Structure 1
């Protein structure tokens, strides 16, 4: 018998439990009733009964049984993203309640791009926490479309990022720090510390590249086409993973074209140096995206703190 979405929703609200979502996710992740039971702290029979109850509630089969365990059906696969969002929401709720119970002043769900974290938050966030120790900040990293998706879903309170091409409706952007592309190398590189480098010098060096489609890669391709007399050697690892980028740049004689905010912590420690070449190439600034209205006190405090530290005009 088929039911409307409304009637199914009413059944779930009346008879569904958070434990059902946990069992569904663990079974899908582990592929075994016994392993799921061990991970959750239930007996195998309890997991089997919970799954049977959930399948009866939804009136659809969620897992196919086979000799080595279970595998999700197409219907289950469709439900998994929703189930994960529910569990993430529960975890956020638990953090909020715990923060309040510990005499806290609230919680801020903060999302930052890699450049924003390295160029702004690494320096600013510890100072905010020293001033507001009762505000808990949950920081996660995301770029571009993932930031916009989190905002649309209401999963984030503030976003520190590069200025987007279009500001989402109901949000406003406040610039904090200007940015530009720079050529960097480790402190011991032969081109560091001397006179301004020439295009021929750069074309003879080995370059560490970002993946195609990233702004830094477009800028490098334009630089090489406009100034280099011949294509330069390219290091065989192409990545935007920061631990790998930093390890390679610190340990090998490589050059890279990167936003200055992205490499700021390593410039501050002297592990990397900027090579003097041509005029600076500016890019969109780093700033804070915040709701235009309806912000909580904790989020407002963090936004105000970040804006108080913005670069002078």
Structure 2
């Protein structure tokens, strides 16, 4: 079932009936006739393939399907925050934001460009907001447009989660989990959890989006990612996200096999004599790296190359006397193959917390909860 086939007015009717217990009360609450609500409910039940209410002489009783779906719809409608928005308008704005132009959005959705133009124009009138700004031959979303897109994406995420829970109620575990993977998560934790999850839920699709914290945090806030896995931030990036620790990681100093420091007893001062490649300032690993030298009262060494890519760092180390700071898990293959070697341990207090970052108020589906539980088990 595709959420774009649903009608927001029908969904509002469902939540009103669930909350008020009768079609007559719902009709009065959302300003529709009783026959219109009856027809909307009948169409919705056909679309979903689920009985949503049991009819009684004195009212309506929500079925388990409606009890699952209604809270998701309520949250989606709260994000949309206007009864004048249609599903076609919601879809048009998200697609335009995702694809950057009417032409590419039309190709991606198989909707005619005039239809997209009309939907965006009607939405702008309905919300009394300028959503799109023309720049020569191109377009850009206005600041208001970008804010509204975020709320629409969050609404989409709630509706998709609701359909996933309905399928689960029928014994069908489907849907998608979209995970933002920061560098350390890709080494051992995420692959192990994904493999175990696939064995338990082979029909659920997992989409892994790799990136740095800066690249992933806004998609998480937009609802494009369900969760992020990697080094947690201290302080927290904001009240709109939650961080759940999984384990503490202690990085080590690494260099190539045959590095001049690999044959000697190493001090912090020795490490400062060589060039380093570490992430950009502000990254948790960079903070730990700086702390290692400042705590020893040693001037920070030269960092000619700022990099967070393990693949790139590995090649730099292999071809030079550069040093870096990484978790052994991130280069387990290189260490085992004898390409890289541990130059030195870091001080005992030098640790970073690896964990899960989610949106504040995010309500995971059953399968998303199962995935999070697997992450915790793998992290032990």
Category of TM-score, reference length = shorter chain: 0.5 to 0.7
Give 1:209's aligned residue: 278
Superposed CA offset, 1:100-125 (max 9, x none): 99953665555554323324223443
User: How far apart, in 2, do the equivalents of 1:102 and 1:133 lie?
Assistant: 13
Superposed CA offset, 1:28-59 (max 9, x none): 56665445434432333333333343334334
User: How far apart, in 2, do the equivalents of 1:107 and 1:67 lie?
Assistant: 38
User: How far apart, in 1, do the equivalents of 2:104 and 2:276 lie?
Assistant: 47
Give 1:9's aligned residue: 82
User: How far apart, in 2, do the equivalents of 1:22 and 1:179 lie?
Assistant: 42
Give 1:180's aligned residue: 250
Secondary structure at 2:344's aligned position in 1?
A: coil
Give 2:6's aligned residue: none
1:239 Cα deviation after fit = 2.8
CA shift in 2, pair 1:99/1:206, >3 Å? farther
Secondary structure at 2:82's aligned position in 1?
A: helix
Q: Are 1:274 and 2:346 counterparts? A: no
> Which runs of structure 2 are paired with 1:78-93 in the superposition (5 Å)?
78-87=147-156
User: How far apart, in 1, do the equivalents of 2:98 and 2:364 lie?
Assistant: 36
Asked if the contact 1:120–1:261 (Cα under 8 Å) also holds between the matched residues in 2, the reply is no
Superposed CA offset, 1:3-52 (max 9, x none): xxx9x82222xxx12x3233334545666544543443233333333334
| 2:116 maps to which of 47, 52, 55 | 47
> Which runs of structure 2 are paired with 1:47-86 in the superposition (5 Å)?
47-64=116-133, 68=137, 70-73=139-142, 75-86=144-155
User: How far apart, in 1, do the equivalents of 2:243 and 2:105 lie?
Assistant: 44
With normalisation by structure 2, the TM-score equals 0.57
> Which runs of structure 2 are paired with 1:1-313 in the superposition (5 Å)?
9-12=82-85, 16-17=86-87, 19-27=88-96, 33-64=102-133, 68=137, 70-73=139-142, 75-87=144-156, 103-104=172-173, 108=177, 110=179, 112-130=181-199, 132-140=201-209, 143=213, 150=220, 156=226, 160-162=229-231, 173=244, 175=246, 177-192=247-262, 194-199=263-268, 201-225=270-294, 232-235=301-304, 237-264=305-332, 266-267=334-335, 270-277=338-345, 279-287=347-355, 297-311=366-380
Aligned pairs, number = 294
Gaps of 5+ in 1: 1-5
Secondary structure at 2:341's aligned position in 1?
A: strand
Asked if the contact 2:89–2:120 (Cα under 8 Å) also holds between the matched residues in 1, the reply is yes
Structure ranking higher on relative contact order (CA contacts 8 Å, 6+ apart): 1
User: How far apart, in 1, do the equivalents of 2:373 and 2:148 lie?
Assistant: 39
With normalisation by structure 1, the TM-score equals 0.66
CA shift in 2, pair 1:95/1:265, >3 Å? farther
Give 2:72's aligned residue: none
CA shift in 2, pair 1:133/1:217, >3 Å? same
1:256 Cα deviation after fit = 0.9
Aligned Cα root-mean-square deviation (Å): 4.8
Asked if the contact 2:132–2:141 (Cα under 8 Å) also holds between the matched residues in 1, the reply is yes
Asked if the contact 1:203–1:228 (Cα under 8 Å) also holds between the matched residues in 2, the reply is no
Asked if the contact 1:200–1:228 (Cα under 8 Å) also holds between the matched residues in 2, the reply is no
Gaps of 5+ in 2: 1-77
User: How far apart, in 1, do the equivalents of 2:134 and 2:243 lie?
Assistant: 51
